[in-house]
């Protein structure tokens, strides 16, 4: 038992390390790791992964918030949508066939690997003079910036929350694309704001899993400290290691697990 817990601790540490350094989040690999590496039932793996998302969010937000890169007002607004979606996704998780969840998860992994290989999307150029129906304007590098399409962004965040509650992921890879391509936020602002949102989203759906008894204390005590340590270590080492190399390494690993999840769903 001790040996298995120690191996899980080390694996979770590297999940947090690579997830933090790549910007894609360690929660993406916790579910396949538990499911196929430790034979943990799917719903228990999802429950543990949600707690790891909370830990990653705390570590990342604690690093970025003092640098004033997080758009707090926008994050609070979008959290209302993502939390609603997460609660719904967590509520229906027990009703969805396991193979269907694994199939959906495999496609999420493929998409995440694609985004990782592709690199950060180029920000969309918006016409000047745009005014948002809600004032979420902010100052970035001495320039006043507007947030575009906040209500459409809220809707997509709610859909991302459903995936988060159903699959146990932070959905940060979707959030950042929405923030950049739809809402016009710079990459660093998008990443910081997404990191603050995914923790609250995971906490909402994690409570549902806790109430339904899908949280195993043995998994939690091994995973959460390791994820926290790995995330803090990743944030520290990021300035010394090529971020592109880490993204490619992490994305390749995620791609392999995507094929493993797809095989498990179809076999």
DSSP letters spanning 134-165: S---EEETTEEE----HHHHHHHHHHHHHHHH
Res 157: pLDDT? 92
Number of neighbours of residue 219 by Cβ within 10 angstroms: 23
Query: What does the pLDDT look like over 147-203, one tens digit per residue?
Result: 888 899 999 999 989 988 888 887 777 787 788 778 888 877 887 888 888 888 888
pLDDT given at position 65: 78
Residue 208 to residue 72: CA distance in whole angstroms = 25
The partner residues of 140 in beta bridges, in order of sequence, read: 143
pLDDT digits (tens, 9 = 90+) for 5-38: 788 888 888 887 776 666 566 677 788 888 888 8
Cα(225)–Cα(189) distance, rounded to whole angstroms? Answer: 27
User: Residue ranges per domain, the chain?
Assistant: 2-266
CA-CA distance, 145 to 147, in Å (whole number)? 7
| Other CB atoms within 10 A of residue 230 CB | 28
Give the residue-averaged pLDDT of 245-255. Answer: 77
E strands, the chain, are: 138-140, 143-145
CA distances from 234 to 105, 182, 190, 228, 237 (A): 25, 28, 19, 10, 5
pLDDT band of residue 89 (cuts 50, 70, 90) is very high
Identify the band that residue 57 occupies on the pLDDT scale cut at 50, 70 and 90.
Answer: confident
83 and 197 Cβ atoms separated by less than 8 Å: no
| DSSP single-letter state for residue 65 | G
User: What is the dihedral angle through the alpha carbons of 12, 14, 15, 20, rounded to the nearest 10 degrees?
Assistant: 130
User: What residues pair up with 144 in beta bridges, in sequence order?
Assistant: 139
């Amino acid at each position: 038992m001790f040996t298995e817990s120690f191996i899980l601790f080390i694996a979770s540490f590297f999940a947090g390390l690579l997830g933090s350094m790549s910007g894609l989040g360690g929660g993406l690999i916790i579910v396949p790791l538990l499911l196929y590496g430790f034979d943990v039932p799917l719903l228990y793996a999802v429950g543990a992964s949600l707690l790891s998302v909370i830990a990653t969010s705390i570590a990342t937000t604690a690093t970025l918030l003092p640098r004033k890169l997080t758009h707090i007002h926008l994050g609070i607004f979008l959290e209302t949508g993502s939390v609603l979606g997460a609660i719904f996704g967590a509520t229906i998780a027990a009703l969805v066939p396991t193979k269907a969840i694994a199939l959906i998860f495999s496609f999420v992994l493929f998409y995440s690997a694609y985004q990782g290989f592709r690199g950060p999307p180029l920000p969309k150029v918006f016409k000047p003079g745009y005014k948002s129906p809600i004032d979420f304007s902010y100052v970035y590098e001495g320039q006043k910036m507007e947030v575009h399409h906040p209500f459409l962004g809220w809707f997509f965040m709610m859909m991302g929350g459903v995936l988060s509650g159903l699959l146990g992921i932070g959905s940060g890879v979707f959030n950042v694309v929405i923030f950049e391509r739809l809402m016009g936020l710079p990459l660093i602002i998008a990443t910081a704001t997404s990191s603050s949102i995914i923790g609250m989203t995971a906490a909402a759906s994690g409570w549902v899993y806790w109430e339904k008894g899908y949280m195993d204390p043995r998994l939690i005590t091994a995973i959460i400290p390791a994820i926290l340590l790995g995330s803090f270590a990743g944030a520290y080492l990021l300035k010394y290691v090529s971020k592109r190399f880490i993204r490619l390494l992490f994305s390749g690993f995620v791609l392999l697990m995507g094929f493993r999840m797809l095989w498990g769903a179809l076999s």
